[in-house]
Structure 1
């Protein structure tokens, strides 16, 4: 009886594989067709986006231009011109803050007192975990440009 059951199971498995083979082949064909169609659509989308970008650059009007003007205003408000060098702008970076603190020989607590913030803020800014508000950046950059004696006198005051 076991040989009959075994041969029945084998025959059922063979027929099932035969049936599935045809269906899998059909699915592979449609999958390949879908992939090539997706690739073509991606290329078409990229071309359309490039065309839209070119049109926006050439147009110079509308909402895109207003957004660009607003972005420039934010960048200019968060940058300070270097004294005596018109046109050059300084931007706040964690590396600059670390370098200035090391140059002044200050602890994070002393630097916090100079910049009128908490020492935790200094730690977060230096580690890159946070950055100062855009409205505070010009003031911070001005104080970072101070010499050692001026900075110490401001801390003492």
Structure 2
């Protein structure tokens, strides 16, 4: 017959392993549920962010009026059109820059699309874009004098 003390010790050890397992099973199930809820919320957030980006792009592409709130016209800039106009006038980048009040390097970089001109230069660019060859040449002479 086995020793009662060893049997009792074995039973206590078995129950000691079994009890915490029973108590933690409920917690494990709760944690699993929370993780799945968090994953679902993350997917929903990503979906809403994509939808927001799509609608904001659509709103931009619909078009904005070419005038801001102050009533002054907004000017657009195209590097290709800028370069073509300078070529039509037959001016160097430095001469074109003098007309605008900037350096020739700025004109070169604007034409290449490396940089966009600041908003403060856009009205001057629009003014020069309206000039013809003769008018641009006379304006350059006046600036040199």
TM-score range, shorter chain: 0.5 to 0.7
Tell me the TM-score normalized by structure 1: 0.49
Tell me the TM-score normalized by structure 2: 0.52
Question: Within 5 A, what are the aligned runs for 1:48-127?
Answer: 48-49=48-49, 50=51, 73=68, 79-80=74-75, 91-127=76-112
Structure 1 residues 156 and 130 mapped into 2: Cα distance closer, same or farther (>3 Å)? same
Q: Structure 2 unaligned runs (5+)?
A: 1-34, 56-66
Structure 1 residues 79 and 73 mapped into 2: Cα distance closer, same or farther (>3 Å)? closer
Q: Structure 1 unaligned runs (5+)?
A: 1-33, 55-71, 81-90
CA distance in 1, matches of 2:124, 2:94: 18
Root-mean-square deviation over aligned CA pairs: 3.5
Q: Does 1:142 align with 2:127?
A: yes
Q: What's the CA shift for 1:114?
A: 1.3
User: What does the per-residue CA deviation read over 1:77-109, in whole Å, with 9 as the maximum and x for residues that have no partner?
Assistant: 6734xxxxxxxxxx1111111010111111111
Structure 1 residues 41 and 98 mapped into 2: Cα distance closer, same or farther (>3 Å)? same
Higher alpha-carbon Rg: 2
Q: Does 1:151 align with 2:136?
A: yes
Question: Within 5 A, what are the aligned runs for 1:4-19?
Answer: none
How many correspondences in the alignment? Answer: 95
